[in-house]
């Protein structure tokens, strides 16, 4: 819808789903990318290569990415940040894609270090995202997202809500029939429960999560969304 592209991961190993808003920003780098994922995962699968191939089928080039939004700092969501930035650099190193995540999450990764399955992510954010409205672009191309601080999986996890089309990007906060892990460093079950409850109060017709489960990947339709939140309350809230 309206230049929103979804690129679910289909490999065997760990990697996240990536989402892209096309033709939002001004200039030579108009695209906004959410969670570029791994470069290479624990099984040696070339996750970034898979993503770039899928993008090319939509005639979208990594050189045209102007902004990367990270839901959190686990490497299966942000390891490819630096590679995307390097591809976006203009001639003579003038101009490049910018990287953003929450300040809480950046502090968490700097103090504790974030690694999973022996893999890490090396990048430096250009600015921090705070809870509230994020307006990108101008005129007919303007994109307005609501940024929610949703701790629990990690201390600085973010979710993005696109009210115009009632789309919720949940990262690893919640999935189709599942929730993010809380047994990793920085995890907190009570905070995750509060974050999910808060998101459930939004008017949502599409949930775009960070990973697939046995139930599926993207959740389409208001009724399906409500059923999913009810399932999480019944089956996961008592455990968090």
DSSP state of 97: -
pLDDT at 171: 98
The CA distance from 137 to 78, in Å, is 23
Check: CB of residue 78 under 8 Å from CB of residue 90. no
Count of CB atoms situated within 10 Å of the CB of 237: 14
Check: CB of residue 161 under 8 Å from CB of residue 202. yes
Check: CB of residue 208 under 8 Å from CB of residue 6. yes
Mean pLDDT of 20-28: 95
The CA distance from 225 to 50, in Å, is 29
85-131: per-residue pLDDT in tens?
998 886 656 689 999 999 999 999 888 766 655 667 789 999 999 99
Mean pLDDT of 139-161: 96
The CA distance from 63 to 96, in Å, is 8
Mean pLDDT of 39-45: 96
Mean pLDDT of 35-61: 97
Q: 140 falls in which pLDDT band (50, 70, 90)?
A: confident
pLDDT at 121: 79
Q: 44 falls in which pLDDT band (50, 70, 90)?
A: very high
Mean pLDDT of 175-190: 96
Count of CB atoms situated within 10 Å of the CB of 15: 31
201-235: per-residue pLDDT in tens?
999 999 999 999 999 999 999 999 999 999 999 99
Q: Among 7-11, 68-72, 113-117, whose mean pLDDT is lowest?
A: 113-117
pLDDT at 64: 95
Instruction: Please give the mean pLDDT across all residues of the chain.
Output: 94
Direct distance between the N- and C-terminal alpha carbons of the chain, in angstroms, rounded to an integer: 35
pLDDT at 92: 59
**What percentage of the chain has pLDDT greater than the value 70?**
95
């Amino acid at each position: 819808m309206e230049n929103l592209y979804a690129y679910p991961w289909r490999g065997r190993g760990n990697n996240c789903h990536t989402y892209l808003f096309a033709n939002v920003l001004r200039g030579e780098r108009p695209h906004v990318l959410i969670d570029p994922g791994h470069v290479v995962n624990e099984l040696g699968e070339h996750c970034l290569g898979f993503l770039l191939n899928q993008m090319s089928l939509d005639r979208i080039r990594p050189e045209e990415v102007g902004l990367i939004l990270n839901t959190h700092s686990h490497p299966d969501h942000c390891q490819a940040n630096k590679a995307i930035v390097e591809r976006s650099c203009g001639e003579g190193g003038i101009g490049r894609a910018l990287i953003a995540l929450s300040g809480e999450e950046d502090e968490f990764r700097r103090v504790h270090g974030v690694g999973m399955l022996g893999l890490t992510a090396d990048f430096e954010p250009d600015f921090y995202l705070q809870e509230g409205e994020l307006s990108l672009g101008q005129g007919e191309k303007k994109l307005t997202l609501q940024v929610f601080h949703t701790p629990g999986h990690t201390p600085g996890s973010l979710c993005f809500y696109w009210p115009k089309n009632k789309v919720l990007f949940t990262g690893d906060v919640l999935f189709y029939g599942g929730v993010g892990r809380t047994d990793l460093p920085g995890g907190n079950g009570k905070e995750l429960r509060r974050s999910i409850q808060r998101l459930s109060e939004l008017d949502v017709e599409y949930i775009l999560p960070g990973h697939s489960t046995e139930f599926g990947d993207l959740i389409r339709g208001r009724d399906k969304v409500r059923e999913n939140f009810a399932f999480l309350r019944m089956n996961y809230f008592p455990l968090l």
